[in-house]
Each structure stands twice: as structure tokens, then as C-alpha cells.
Structure 1
Amino acid sequence: MRIATYNVNGINGRLPVLLRWLEESAPDVVCLQELKSPDERFPKQALADLGYEAIWHGQKSWNGVAILSRVGMPVETRRGLPGDPVDSHSRYIEAAVGGILIGNLYLPNGNPRPGSKFDYKLAWFDRLIAHAAELLGTGVPAALIGDFNVMPTELDVYKPERWLDDALFAPEVRAAYRRLLDQGWTDALRTLHPETHIYTFWHYFRNAFARDAGLRIDHFLLSPALAGRLKAAGVERDVRAWEKSSDHAPVWIDLTDER
């Protein structure tokens, strides 16, 4: 099974890019972030024409997450991250698909730091950590997938000294990511490529992509019940070079058949 994650940076504005990638790469399950679309404008039919069933949690102009599958309809188990009943941001959706419980997330950016947006990011991360512990407690094969808006180590950022004041590289945020891993989650890409500079995002400005001045902020975290099935992982960097593409590239993992 191939599972992919892709921050599309506007699903309707970049729909031709998304459909081209789905047709060429044909992942079995896809987690999308930053739909920037209300629920009623989600392109359900266009995706269905390529064989994908979908669930989504949209929001006008901002945020938004979706799970696509061509191996059976995703069975939604949660919409929205628990822990704050007044949080209206569409940043989390969870479903059972292909025998795996998948939490698709778009963690807040948090800039500027310090400030209310950074405080919200840390609080959201705390809620994610609490929910992640509950998922692990079930013992089911589970994955937390998506745009975490954190570069965990210096290996995950081009010229880390330039990012010391940024919310994506803040010590508190990196520590929160380590707290997740310490629960027992496996960072799929870093596990298979422990010493490699791997980037999943490149800014549109200052010719960042051509210079490979990137960041690794899109992650797959696998529970112990799933980590043993990890076979391969990578980034489809070439998609970032397509015309009118997102500033993220699709990231994927391959899993062996269920034991």
C-alpha cells in the first residue's frame, strides 16, 4: 500500500496539478492539507472520476484537510482535534482506511513568534500529543500524517541558522515533536534516510526551489503496530517544479501487506 501526503495550497486553484499527480502516481491513500475551500466546493466528482472516494473537512479561504482512497471508502472516526470545543479551524480529520487508522493534520504555522498565533500552535500541539497517546493506547495500526509545520532537526532545514527565530524551528516546537516521538511513534522518512537532507517544502520567493533551499515539514508518524510494515519512503520533488504547483511536494510511504 502506498500512502501519500500533499499540502495542495488551494485544492480548486491547483486542481489540474493535483489530478495530474494522482493520475501519474496513483497512490492508494492520500492525505491533503490546505484545501482553502468550503465543504460545498470540494471537487468530489473530479476525484471520483479518477477512482478516489473522499472525506473532507473544509473551511473558506483557509486550512482544510481531506483523506482520499482508492482502496475503499474512508470511514470517518473524528472531525476536528479534541481538547478545545471552540476551535473552529479545519485542521484535523481521522478515518479508518485499508486497515489503518489515519489522522490527517495541518498543524498551525505559529508565526509571528512570540504572539497569540504561536501560543495557539503550542496549545494545538499539546492537544495533538494528548490525542496521539490515546491512539497508541488502542494498539491499532495508526499513522499521524500531514503538514506538521516543524523542522525537527538541523538536517531538516536549509541553513538552520537563518530559522532560529521562526515558529517552525522554535525550541518549544521541536521539543513538542520529540515528545510525540518519545511516545513510541516512528518518523518514517527519517528512519529510512537517517543522514540525508530531505526537503518537502520550498518557498516561492528568492528562487528557493532552484537553489534547493527547502524545509522538511511534512511527516509520517507510524505507531508501533504499523512501523514494522514500513518498506520505503520518499518525496516526489519533481511535482514541485510543475507549472502552478504547490510550494510543497507530495511525500509518500510504502507499506508491506498486513501481517
Structure 2
Amino acid sequence: MANLFFLGFPMDIASWNVNSVRSRQQHILDWLGTNPVDVLCLQETKVVDEDFPRQPFEEAGYHCHISGQKSYNGVAIFSREPLQDVKIGFAALVEPALTGDLDEQKRVISGVYDGVRIVNLYVPNGSALDSEKYLYKLRWLNLLQTYLEQLRRSDTPEFLVCGDFNIAPEDRDIHDPVGRENHIMATAMEREALTEVLAIANLQDAFRKFTEETGHYSWWDYRTRGFSRNRGWRIDHHYLTPQLYDQAQKCWIDREPRGWEKPSDHAPVVVTINN
């Protein structure tokens, strides 16, 4: 298949769980002022669509594509040019009979930018191993496999999947992995589910293409002074299909916003893709 994906210049795509777009509005604008990425994928926007603060971001030069709900969840994609073929929820590709209750929470949005399908996800946290929310998370990841399999068969077979996955794929992604098998976001079942999701489309971790060592995290718990002690987890990811993975030039975590006043507990993760 001919390379139709780029116009001869790098594309910067960022993912950031902002933990309320209204609370972090100025942080996002300040960050975009310094890092004018082509596409910014947000998670945990926590606002219904009609109350989303579009105007400041539109004035900054971005088109806002959103799917939100009150107080919880919510995803959005900001893009320099309008996205094409925006799809919201699993039901955009998966038979409604299979989605069941898994589309009630706003966690999935995708669109095509310069020929690249960008999928933005907010994977459920799971709460605790003995929680119904943990079982919900595993069901959600199972349906994500079906969704990505359908996407792989579509007209844009090369795509990027990013977002807050709420899973540390390996022990090197956790500041202290001792006891992780009993800790949400690092259990064997969650990791196996993620592995199966990635295998569906041969997706690969962009960050690990460039950085092998431990000590690099994207989330630090508010409650334990995690950031000041760098006791974090790498749970925010960019996964790329083979051609895009080959074209990836850089992937990095910007820790700076996590040190700002009243920050999100997550940091932006940015991938640069070129042809």
C-alpha cells in the first residue's frame, strides 16, 4: 500500500489525562503555547459537551472534538485541522449487542488527521481487585480487542492508539514493583489483557522504542508526595501500528506541568512521527 500518511513534515501527537478540562484549562493553554502540537488527546475532561470550554482552545487555533459526561470520564481530541470521520464510542465500529453497558461511560473517541487514524482512550481504572469495577475493566479491554480488530480492517489500517491505559505494562514502568501482582494497574490479568489488545493490530509502544531504562513515569499519586519523590507509574501510552512505529522519531514524557500549582496527577506524553 502506498504511503499516504504524511505531507513531508513531522506530526506531533500528545496525550494527557488532565483530570478536569475546566480546572486545568489554563494549564492546557500554557502548555500548548510552549508545545504547539498538531493533535492533543485529552482524558478525564469531566464535563458534558454543551459546557465544554471550546472558545479558548479554538482561539488558540484548535478544533475541538469531544465526548463528555458530567463529573466523570470524558475524552477529547484537539487538532490543528478538523478531524475527518470522527467516531465516538465502541458502537461506532462494534455491534450494539456486543457493547452492552460498556459505552455508557465516555471513554473512546477517534478521528483521521492527515490520513492517520488517531484513537484516544481512557481505560477504566478498576478500583480494586475485589471490585466490580475491576471486572468491568477486564470486560472493557476485551471489547477493545474487537474494536481494534474492526479498525484494522478499515480503510485506514495504520493507526495510533493513545491515552490513559491505567496499566503499567512491565515492572520497569513502576517505581517499586514489589507486590505489584496484588496492585491495581499491574496485575497479571490486566497486563495479559493489554498484551492481547496490542497483538490484535501488532501495536508497539512508541516510548520504549527510544527509552529502555526505568525511572520514567507519567502518573504520580497526589496522596503520597509521589511526584517530589519520583514514585510514579508509566500508565499513559502511545501504541503504533508497524508503519507508524517505523516512522516514529521521538516519544517523551513532559514532567514540567506536573510540578505546576494544582496540576493534574498525569503528565503529557508526546510522540513525533515523520515520513
With the shorter chain as reference, the TM-score category is over 0.9
Q: Deviations over 1:187-223 (max 9, x none)?
A: 1001221234320000112211011000000011111
Deviation at 1:162, TM superposition (A): 4.2
Secondary structure (helix, strand or coil) at the match of 1:95 reads strand
Instruction: Decide whether the 8 Å contact of 2:142 with 2:197 is kept in 1.
Output: no
Q: Quick one: which of 83, 105, 121 aligns to 1:105? A: 121
Q: Deviations over 1:63-108 (max 9, x none)?
A: 00000111x1012432112431433100001111122101100000
Q: Quick one: which of 215, 220, 224 aligns to 1:202? A: 220
> 2:236 matched to 1:221?
no
User: Where does residue 25 of structure 1 map in the other structure?
Assistant: 35
Q: CA RMSD in A?
A: 1.3
> 2:57 matched to 1:41?
no
Deviation at 1:129, TM superposition (A): 1.3
User: Where does residue 59 of structure 1 map in the other structure?
Assistant: 69
User: Where does residue 13 of structure 1 map in the other structure?
Assistant: 23
Q: Distance in 1 between matches of 2:144 and 2:212?
A: 25
Q: Distance in 2 between matches of 1:78 and 1:225?
A: 22
Secondary structure (helix, strand or coil) at the match of 2:66 reads strand
Q: Quick one: which of 187, 192, 206 aligns to 1:188? A: 206
Q: Distance in 2 between matches of 1:155 and 1:76?
A: 37
Q: Distance in 2 between matches of 1:114 and 1:120?
A: 11
TM-score (norm 2): 0.89
Instruction: Decide whether the 8 Å contact of 1:111 with 1:167 is kept in 2.
Output: yes
Q: Deviations over 1:142-190 (max 9, x none)?
A: 0111000000000001111143322211110001111123331011001
Letter in 2 for 1:89: Q
User: Where does residue 133 of structure 1 map in the other structure?
Assistant: 149
Instruction: Decide whether the 8 Å contact of 1:17 with 1:244 is kept in 2.
Output: no
User: Where does residue 74 of structure 1 map in the other structure?
Assistant: 83
- Structure 2, unaligned runs of 5 or more: 1-10, 92-97
Q: Distance in 2 between matches of 1:92 and 1:225?
A: 23
> 2:209 matched to 1:159?
no
Q: Percent identity?
A: 36
- Structure 1, unaligned runs of 5 or more: none
Q: Quick one: which of 159, 171, 178 aligns to 1:142? A: 159
TM-score (norm 1): 0.95
Q: Quick one: which of 89, 99, 113 aligns to 1:84? A: 99
Instruction: Decide whether the 8 Å contact of 1:2 with 1:29 is kept in 2.
Output: yes
Letter in 2 for 1:84: T
Deviation at 1:130, TM superposition (A): 1.5
Give the number of aligned pairs.
256
Secondary structure (helix, strand or coil) at the match of 2:184 reads coil
Secondary structure (helix, strand or coil) at the match of 2:23 reads coil
